[in-house]
Amino acid sequence: METKLTLRLRKSVIDRAKKYAHNQRISLSKMIEIYLESITASEEKEVGTTPLVESLSGVIELEPDFDYKKEYSNFLTEKYK
């Protein structure tokens, strides 16, 4: 069900929004609906692993006792001497 909504906005904002909507070949109402839907969606979008990240997984083999926090701390200490 669609319901009418009245908004009060600055004329300059409305003019720019209309121009943008026209260039995107979409109605201003639809553009606002899509925006409101995107910011109010309750479901968290699952972030997937990209093919690049998957291809890099397992490239480096580290020792079982490797302390990455210590190594990173050492790196930062050297960098900012």
- d(CA 9, CA 57) in angstroms, rounded, equals 49
What integer pLDDT is reported at residue 44 of this predicted model? Answer: 60
Is the pLDDT higher at 61 or at 19?
A: 19
- Whether the per-residue pLDDT at 48 is higher than 70: the answer is yes
The dihedral through the CA atoms of 40, 46, 50, 56 has a sign that is positive
Phi, psi of 7 (to 5 degrees): -120, 150
Q: How far apart are CA 19 and CA 24, in angstroms?
A: 9
Name residue 71's amino acid.
E
pLDDT of residue 69: 93
